[in-house]
Amino acid sequence: SALQMDLILFWFLLFLDASRVIVTRSSGVLVDVVVDRYDVPKVCPREVQTEDFVRYHFNGTFYADGKKFDSSHDRSRAFVSQVGLGKLITGMDRGLQGMCVNERRRITVPPHLAYGSIGTGGVIPPDAVLVYDVLLLDIWNAEDKVEIRTISKPAICNRTTAASDFIRYHYNGTLLSGEAFDSSYSRNATYDTYLGQGDLIKGLDEGLLGMCVGERRVLIVPPFLAYGENGYGTLVPPQASLVFEVLLVDVFNPKDDLIVEVKEVPEGCTRRTKARDYIRYHYNGTFQDGSAFDSSYQRNSTYNTYIGMGYVIKGMDKALQGLCAGEKRRIIIPPHLAYGEGGVGDFIPGSAVLVFDIHVIDFHNPKDPVQIKVTHRPQDCNVTSEADDYIQYSYNCSLMDGTLLYSSDQYDSSSTTTLGANKVIVGLEEGLSGMCVGERREVVIPPHWGHGENGAGEVPGSAVLFFELELLELQKGVPEGYMFVWLGDGPDPLFPAMDLNSDKEVPQEEFSSFIMTEISQGRGRLRPGVDAHSIIKDMFNNQDRNKDGKITEDELTLKDDEETKQARRDEL
């Protein structure tokens, strides 16, 4: 029969092209809809079923002459309806079944499944075969919930978002058809808001819960959990499902306090920072997503500040107390303890949580003295260093983090100085005083006893210095301004003792022999660290008033006598 032949032809064509559905016709008359699926997307996660809501564009034409009778495109507004419940003509209820978003179909509807023998409203004549060219834009069901697809998640997640948290996130927003309607990336700024308090559409309030910083999700939000029947201006049409690809950048709660993670504490920590101390530290500053905003290492210079006095943000002021020199910590500071809602220009976004990885180099208090620790002291220690002494010593000078700055080992000979002559920094003078030959010390010198705020050479500004000292030699000195002193009572009278050959005059050679004899027998001492011949020559010239190459008794004047006459200070 003709009906059997039509059925055979139908199945043959169905298998020949799965993208086209041809339904039966009898004696040339359509008995059901004819569906031509001429453009089907490769991926179709969901097909239209009875009771689904759909949003689609269409052009409606007459089969007979191709004349258009209606078009949603002309109205610039997609058509929205529910499928399978009689809200559409029967032919469309059937023709939309199994359709995918972004699929294009040509649905041919016979009169008895359209407007029948009566037609409608003067637009559709009786017994008209209708052709609908349909593009499906959206599909949802009243039972739908927010669909959450996790794209990626960090391996470590110590905290997830919860209601009442404040979050910062990036997103790309599209309709279900893939048409973009908004993106935070295009504005180069995160979207910042409280979560779970009605500041977002319901679908986002639900879909953003339980996220980690750095997590990426795709959220599919049905219209009744988005902008519903009204849509959103020109961006979101009425009854549109929304797709958000989101990246969580930041999260905190207004009740949050500092989070401090101790990474490394040096052994033997006997002192910790406190308010009014001055600290030098290195840091790397990042946001919670790991992106960097600042680093002292890049500037090759520590950050230096007083703590507990309001010179840094509140969170850092608090976090920098109770640390040891050399300690490493991670500090997470919520925005209300950092730069708040305003941020800092393009440098720190508003409401940003800041993460600092810090390394304390050193700290001190402006009232700190020089700290001296004796590590070795010889048993025989009768003579110790003091002002005017000439000493020879070895040293290592380091920063408190162990960075070696200077060492006497770098030179061919040990270091020498005269104590009290202002040849070394005051703190080192202090550390070298009172030492025995062979004694070793560890000396900590705060910057106000060292090189101060400006530093010097390789010494950074405001740096605390650590010296390892050993006294190698000690020559007792003479008071400032003297070149020679008696170690007891000098010869009295002096001139006859100097006049070795008793000829009433003392030439330079005789004068030199006298002085050297006094030194060798322990009765006198020359200024150490200066050439003895030069000193004795200067002493002779000072006494040889008439410059005739010899000293007479009339020319000889003791320094103590000269002091009362405000004479030169470099005479005998």
Residues known to be catalytic: 171, 181-182, 201, 227, 244
Burial 475-501 (b: 16+ CB within 10 A, else e): bebbeeebbbbeeeebeeebbeebbee
Cis geometry, peptide bond prior to residue 335 (ω within 30 degrees of 0): no
Q: Are 282 and 302 in contact (CB under 8 A)?
A: yes
Sign of CA dihedral 522, 526, 531, 535: negative
Cα 166 to Cα 203, 258, 263, 335, 389: the distances in Å are: 17, 16, 28, 10, 68
What does the buried/exposed string (b/e) look like for 273-312 if buried means 16 or more CB atoms within 10 Å of the residue's CB? Answer: beeebbbbbbbbbbbbbeeeeeebeeeeebbbbbbeeeeb
CB neighbours of residue 207 within 10 Å:
24
Tell the burial category of 521 from Cβ atoms under 10 Å away from its Cβ (0-12, 13-18, 19+): exposed
The amino acid present at 157, given as its one-letter code, is: C
Structure tokens at 248: 């969580």
Residue whose C-alpha is closest to residue 385's, from 328, 431, 318, 325: 431
Nearest to 354 by CA among 297, 263, 293: 293
Q: What is the largest CA-CA distance in the chain?
A: 166
Q: Tell me how long the chain is.
A: 572
Residue ranges in 291-335 assigned as alpha helix (H)? 296-299, 314-319
Number of Cβ atoms within 10 Å of the Cβ of 5:
9
Cβ–Cβ under 8 Å, residues 321 and 274 = yes
Sequence-ordered alpha helix ranges (H) in 433-554: 494-498, 508-520, 532-543
Count of beta carbons in the 10 Å neighbourhood of residue 131:
20
